Chains A and B, each alone.
Chain A
Amino acid sequence: MAEIARHDAHLGAFLSVSYPDAPGVKGPLHGIPYAAKDNLCTATLPTTCASRMLEDYHPPYDATVIARMQEAGAILVGKTNMDEFAMGSSNETSAFHPVANPWRPDHVPGGSSGGSAAAVAAGLVPLALGTDTGGSIRQPAAFCGITGMKPTYGAVSRMGLVAFASSMDQVGPMAMTASDCAAAMDILVAHDPGDSTSSDHPDAGDFLRRVRAAPDGCDGLRIGIPREYFGQGVDPEVVRAVRSAADVFSELGARVEEMSLPHTVYALPTYYILASAEAASNLARFDGVRYGRRAAANSIEELYWKSRGEGFGREVQRRITLGTFVLSAGYYDAYYLKAARVRGIMAGEITRAFAQYDYLLTPTCPTTAFPRDVRTEDPLAMYMADVCTIPANLAGIPAVSVPGGLVNGLPVGVQLMGRRFDDAGVLALADRFQRATGHHLLGPEGFGDHRERGGEDA
């Protein structure tokens, strides 16, 4: 707790902190402190989604994942900062304050789970929960030099996760290592009858064991590198980091080869249409009538208009506007319906690729962390940060970002994707990479002493 208090004044990773006195339940995660992104409902701490709309909102219940972590003995120490309603890639849309990247404080930590990533990277907590709709776990994990896992859609309950885009939202772990993520997955993954989209996962409760049981080598594994992920706007140094990761897997015995997923180029527009449509719908409930921000008004229309105008920030309003537009009469077919079809085509293409390859290797993000304020006026540049992570959400497949070294003193993320429900395989592959390399052991200067100081470039 002292660490959090001392460092978070500079970082801004937390929105609320609890001072638990109970030692926690005896369980697999007994006594392990963790932080949760502030869009996961907690009965003991406010849940703001980093929005003025929910500034004073106290949910009456715990999200399923929060309850499961508590039953496993983990201790919730605080709620982490994020982009408002998880819409953003830099944590700059938080209505309260930005989050500093522990590696370079005037750079962004990524988003939207920027607070969770920064808290783990700075050593304030060994584990944090994030949520990932288009890359919101993996991209900040990459920017902050940690390991972040987006599970298969349906693996983790969404009950109590304040929805952004329901068909893509997933809760997942963010930690130093793939094996720590696997330990958290053992708690997080379970069928929840309260979430109609949750599944019975074949490896529920068995992730850590499977990761530990995996051999050091990668004999017989086929890894594809889709060339569409290396197009325009991808930093050559990032490309170099991914190539060297590919070399590591080759040396471990995997057959690594370039391949093509031609529909990848449509991922970004498809995602922004579908995610915005769902977001506009999911956020319709914030009307100032029952909870959340309520503006003074003389009529019901004015109440809606002013409460939503004051409560939502610019990026949220932009996406609601976009989402409303693409669902409107006369535009539905051209936008929403077409995007839904393209999503189906892309998912089919990815499924077919997994007939030939066991895993896909790509950059997590085209660049390393960028300086604060440079992209806030250019939404399209900001959206480009998600271009490599979005396909996994559209296809519902598991994906992990692992540290792949440093470029100019900032971490690079390498992404591994696998078949639906092969979360354990993805984590095991990430773990083998981490057994073979030391990238995940690098840490930023000035925070704790749990890792090596950052230094040499990859």
Chain B
Amino acid sequence: MITGNGVEKMREQYRPVIGLEIHVALDTESKMFCACVNAFGSTPNTDVCPVCLGLPGSLPVTNARAIELGITCARALGGQVAPRTYFERKHYHYPDLPKGYQISQYAAPLSIGGELVVDDSHSGEEVRVRIRRVHLEEDAGKSMHSRQSGHTQLDFNRCGVPLAEIVTEPDITSCAQARRFLEELRAIMRTAGVSRVRMEEGELRCDVNFNLVHVKAGQEITRTQISEIKNLNSFRAVQRALEYELMRHRSALEAGDGLLHETRHWDADREVTYAARTKEQAHDYRYFPDPDLPPILIERELVDYLAAGIPELPRARRRRLRETWGIEWSQAEILVEEPEMADFFESAIAEGAEPSEACKWIVGEIAGYLNTVDTTLGALPFSAADLAALLRLVEDGAISGKIAKEVWLEVMEGGGSPEAIVERRGLRQISDDAILEQIIEEVVAEHPEAAEDYAGGKDKTLGFLVGQVMQKTRGQANPQKVNEMIARRLRGGRDDN
């Protein structure tokens, strides 16, 4: 006989084991080892010099700011920064790698250890993902292959852009969790000022390691070999590629195939992964310490100073915003994803705005507007004080919610104080009883049947009558007030549902 516990034990399970290697572009002014500007979108091969082009005789000089951002990155993830670290050369030949090696780190990474905790918004569960290491390296150039001509064009502008590579332990157990991890990492990097993580500019790229363990009755029966999927540049691609791999590994296990340990690429058009050529897999990078760059000694004081400058991290901030201001989980999530947005929210409250209203407006109107204009909140011509002023106008009954949206759109587009706009455009609501009474008399006189119907108990007619008043006042009447006054006038306060 099988007990309940026994059923649990007999259950068959396929457990994904997922580890990530994430490259994040550091937000520096200049490149990692030369004075060229760290920019995106310049004319190809204009942000280059002998150093980042690897011309004969050129020598690298480390950008101290990149080291600092690397330390900040490591500390934001709870890593232990090495007191002494150094760069190594990683050798491989590719046309967009001008020196035949990449300056990277291997035996002595900038930091080891750390942890990133992801809150699962659905289950409320905490997922703890251990960080193995964080190291620094330079980016390579870009190859653009033309399918038509068969030619490849090379752009070296990206060569030497500083990157932090973050390697996790294989602690992630689902495809959705991998995505959540990356979203959390992005929020942390932005909050700590390590990277702006503009996905469309390739500022976050991810390699994933995946394999599947077959568990039966609590015992591992077998597992597949690890697949490494290289260079995924969107969260969606990461999740989709992992889902594809889950399916592939599961079919393999069911067919009794353990698969090969291999490197694979993601085809975003067909949504499949495919094996890399064997040549790309047989890599021996022949790392050795770069003799052009002396070891870097990192003082404890510097690490502490940089760590002290890290603002409240997203997870703590989300919790605090929820607990302090009573906003929703999903709203806190949106606010904190862009630290600027959460800052704006808190400033608006400091300016006297009502928290749930402020949150609604930021998450709705402002976030929506930002999606359409391709700029940052800080670059727009309004402040949190403007939003607080707008909300005050609504609260005081000076304008309706509908008018407020109109006013706010104008503020977002061109700036200016909401009060001034309301005055200039004459949008202030009519709340003066004498004026409203007069208009209501006119409407009743013009529509005697409707007035009688309502007086006789037909509730539906009220909407029509209010609409007539609104029309006469070109939307400026206070609708709440009009409602009440019509009811009083026609039903004498008998029915104030």
Tell me the nearest residue of chain B to A337, going by C-beta: B288
Residues on B with C-beta less than 8 A from A324 are 286
Tell me the nearest residue of chain A to B50, going by C-beta: A61
**Once bound together, how far apart are the Cα atoms of A329 and B61, in whole Å?**
28
- Bitwise, B41-73 to A at CB < 8 A (1) or not (0) is 000000000100111111111100000000000
A327:B286 contact, CB within 8 angstroms: yes
A304:B93 contact, CB within 8 angstroms: yes
**Once bound together, how far apart are the Cα atoms of A277 and B284, in whole Å?**
14
Q: Does A41 contact B (CB under 8 A)?
A: yes
Known: A61-B50, A194-B61, A289-B95. A329 touches B56 (CB 8 A): no
Task: Pick from A159, A196, A278, A291: contact of B294, CB below 8 A.
Answer: A196
**Once bound together, how far apart are the Cα atoms of A300 and B95, in whole Å?**
8
Task: Pick from A59, A193, A281: contact of B89, CB below 8 A.
Answer: A281
Q: Which of B97-105, B129-137, B360-368 contacts A (4 or more CB under 8 A)?
A: B97-105
- Bitwise, B15-27 to A at CB < 8 A (1) or not (0) is 0000000000000
B55:A60 contact, CB within 8 angstroms: yes
Q: Which of A27-35, A162-170, A220-228 contacts B (4 or more CB under 8 A)?
A: A162-170
Task: Pick from B60, B89, B93: contact of A287, CB below 8 A.
Answer: B93
Q: Does B292 contact A (CB under 8 A)?
A: yes
B56:A284 contact, CB within 8 angstroms: no
A197:B101 contact, CB within 8 angstroms: no
A281:B293 contact, CB within 8 angstroms: no
Known: A281-B89, A284-B99, A287-B93. A160 touches B57 (CB 8 A): yes
Residues on B with C-beta less than 8 A from A283 are 100
> Shortest CB–CB separation between residue B261 and chain A, in angstroms?
16
Known: A60-B50, A197-B294, A287-B100. A336 touches B61 (CB 8 A): no
Q: Does A440 contact B (CB under 8 A)?
A: no
Known: A285-B100, A287-B93. A166 touches B55 (CB 8 A): no
> Shortest CB–CB separation between residue A393 and chain B, in angstroms?
12
How many A residues touch B, CB cutoff 8 Å? 44
Interface size range on B against A: 20 to 34
Residues on A with C-beta less than 8 A from B98 are 285, 289-290
> Shortest CB–CB separation between residue A39 and chain B, in angstroms?
8
A167:B93 contact, CB within 8 angstroms: no
B293:A59 contact, CB within 8 angstroms: no
- Bitwise, A159-193 to B at CB < 8 A (1) or not (0) is 11111011100000000000000000000000001
**Once bound together, how far apart are the Cα atoms of A141 and B333, in whole Å?**
72
Q: Does A244 contact B (CB under 8 A)?
A: no
B53:A193 contact, CB within 8 angstroms: no
Residues on A with C-beta less than 8 A from B284 are 328-329
Q: Does B124 contact A (CB under 8 A)?
A: no
Task: Pick from A194, A284, A291, A329: contact of B101, CB below 8 A.
Answer: A284
**Once bound together, how far apart are the Cα atoms of A8 and B331, in whole Å?**
81
A336:B288 contact, CB within 8 angstroms: yes
Q: Does B291 contact A (CB under 8 A)?
A: yes
Tell me the nearest residue of chain B to A278, going by C-beta: B291
> Shortest CB–CB separation between residue B243 and chain A, in angstroms?
33
Tell me the nearest residue of chain B to A62, going by C-beta: B57
Residues on A with C-beta less than 8 A from B100 are 281, 283-287
> Shortest CB–CB separation between residue B467 and chain A, in angstroms?
73
A162:B56 contact, CB within 8 angstroms: yes
Residues on B with C-beta less than 8 A from A158 are 59
Q: Does A96 contact B (CB under 8 A)?
A: no
A193:B61 contact, CB within 8 angstroms: yes
A285:B61 contact, CB within 8 angstroms: no
A59:B55 contact, CB within 8 angstroms: yes
Residues on B with C-beta less than 8 A from A54 are 56
Tell me the nearest residue of chain B to A277, going by C-beta: B288
**Once bound together, how far apart are the Cα atoms of A54 and B57, in whole Å?**
13
**Once bound together, how far apart are the Cα atoms of A304 and B95, in whole Å?**
10
Q: Does A94 contact B (CB under 8 A)?
A: no
Q: Does A47 contact B (CB under 8 A)?
A: yes
Tell me the nearest residue of chain B to A158, going by C-beta: B59
Q: Does B91 contact A (CB under 8 A)?
A: yes
**Once bound together, how far apart are the Cα atoms of A193 and B288, in whole Å?**
24
Known: A196-B293, A197-B294, A327-B286. A47 touches B55 (CB 8 A): no
**Once bound together, how far apart are the Cα atoms of A47 and B62, in whole Å?**
27
A63:B57 contact, CB within 8 angstroms: yes
Tell me the nearest residue of chain A to B284, going by C-beta: A329
> Shortest CB–CB separation between residue B400 and chain A, in angstroms?
64
Tell me the nearest residue of chain A to B283, going by C-beta: A329
**Once bound together, how far apart are the Cα atoms of A234 and B101, in whole Å?**
40
Residue of A49, A61, A196 ringed by the most chain B CB atoms within 10 A: A196
Residues on B with C-beta less than 8 A from A383 are none
**Once bound together, how far apart are the Cα atoms of A290 and B154, in whole Å?**
10
> Shortest CB–CB separation between residue B391 and chain A, in angstroms?
54
B95:A162 contact, CB within 8 angstroms: no
> Shortest CB–CB separation between residue A276 and chain B, in angstroms?
12
Within 8 A of A (CB), among B250-296: 279, 284, 286-288, 291-294
Within 8 A of A (CB), among B78-137: 89, 91, 93, 95, 98-101
Tell me the nearest residue of chain B to A327, going by C-beta: B286
**Once bound together, how far apart are the Cα atoms of A443 and B312, in whole Å?**
76
**Once bound together, how far apart are the Cα atoms of A304 and B284, in whole Å?**
17
Q: Does A57 contact B (CB under 8 A)?
A: yes
Q: Give the interface of B toward A (CB within 8 A).
A: 50, 53-62, 89, 91, 93, 95, 98-101, 154, 279, 284, 286-288, 291-294
Other than A165-B291, A289-B154, A327-B288, give 4 A-B pairs with Cβ distance below 8 A.
Answer: A59-B55, A162-B56, A281-B288, A283-B100
CB pairs A–B below 8 angstroms (26 shown): A49-B56, A159-B59, A160-B57, A161-B57, A162-B56, A193-B61, A196-B60, A197-B294, A277-B288, A281-B89, A281-B91, A281-B101, A283-B100, A284-B93, A286-B56, A287-B93, A289-B95, A289-B98, A290-B98, A291-B55, A300-B95, A327-B91, A327-B287, A328-B284, A329-B286, A332-B288
Q: Give the interface of A toward B (CB within 8 A).
A: 40-41, 47, 49, 54, 57, 59-61, 63, 158-163, 165-167, 193-197, 277-278, 281, 283-287, 289-291, 300-301, 304, 324, 327-329, 332, 336
CB-CB nearest 10 A-B residue pairs: A284-B100, A167-B291, A327-B286, A166-B291, A160-B57, A162-B56, A41-B57, A285-B99, A329-B284, A285-B100
